Amino acid sequence: MAEPGLAGRGAPGKQPTEAARAGRMSQTEFIALMAMLFATIAFSIDAMLPAMPEIAASLSPEAPNRAQLVVTSFVLGMGLGTLFTGPLSDAFGRKPVIVAGAALYILGAALAWAAQSLELMLAARLVQGLGAAAPRVVAVAIVRDLYEGRRMAQIMSFVMMVFALVPALAPALGAAIIWATGWRAIFAAFLLFAAVSVVWMSLRLDEPLARERRRPFGLAMYARGLREVFSHATVVLPIGVLSLVFAMLFALLSSIHSVIAETFGRGAGFPLWFGLIAVLAATGSILNARIVMRLGMRRVIRAALLTQILVSLAVAGLYASGGLPPALGFALFIAWAVGVFFMIGLTTGNLNALALVPLGHIAGLAASVVTGVSTVGAVLVAVPIGLAFDGTPLPLVLGVLACAALGAALMALVPGSDTGPGVAPGVAHRP
CA–CA distance, 117 with 111 (Å, rounded to integer): 11
Residue 1 placed within a domain: no
Residue 312 placed within a domain: yes
Residue 424 placed within a domain: no
* pTM given for the model: 0.72
Long-range Cβ contacts of 315-323 (<8 Å, 24+ apart): 315/397, 316/394, 316/397, 316/398, 316/401, 319/392, 319/393, 319/394, 319/397, 320/394
Residue 6 placed within a domain: no
Closest among 303, 21, 340 to 167, alpha carbons compared: 340
List, for residues 192-239, the tens digit of each pLDDT value: 999 999 999 988 887 878 788 787 777 777 787 778 788 878 888 989
CA–CA distance, 6 with 141 (Å, rounded to integer): 19
Alpha-carbon torsion angle 390, 125, 186, 264, nearest 10: 10
List, for residues 266-280, the tens digit of each pLDDT value: 988 888 888 888 888
Closest among 250, 204, 192 to 399, alpha carbons compared: 250
CATH number at residue 330: 1.20.1250.20
**Sign of the CA dihedral 408, 411, 417, 420?**
negative
- Does the pLDDT value for residue 107 go beyond 90? yes
pLDDT the model gives residue 13: 35
pLDDT the model gives residue 17: 42
List, for residues 277-312, the tens digit of each pLDDT value: 888 887 787 787 778 778 888 889 999 999 999 999
pLDDT the model gives residue 416: 67
Q: How many CA atoms lie within 13 A of 376 on its CB side?
A: 14
Residue 4 placed within a domain: no
- Does the pLDDT value for residue 84 go beyond 60? yes
CA–CA distance, 150 with 152 (Å, rounded to integer): 5
Closest among 350, 153, 161, 365 to 245, alpha carbons compared: 350
Average pLDDT over residues 165-182: 85
- Does the pLDDT value for residue 7 go beyond 60? no
The residue type of 391 is G
Say how many domains are in the chain.
1
Quick one: pLDDT band at residue 77, thresholds 50, 70, 90? Answer: very high
- Give residue 316's domain range: 20-419
List, for residues 233-265, the tens digit of each pLDDT value: 888 898 999 999 999 998 998 889 889 998 999
Residue 7 placed within a domain: no
The residue type of 125 is R
The pair phi, psi for residue 24, each rounded to 5°, is: -125, 20
- pLDDT, mean over the chain: 82
- Contact criterion met (CB below 8 Å) for 151 and 421: yes
- Contact criterion met (CB below 8 Å) for 395 and 120: no
DSSP line for 266-300? -GGGHHHHHHHHHHHHTHHHHHHHHHHHHH-HHHH
Residue 430 placed within a domain: no
Listed range (10-14, 109-113, 203-207) with the worst mean pLDDT: 10-14
Residue 414 placed within a domain: yes
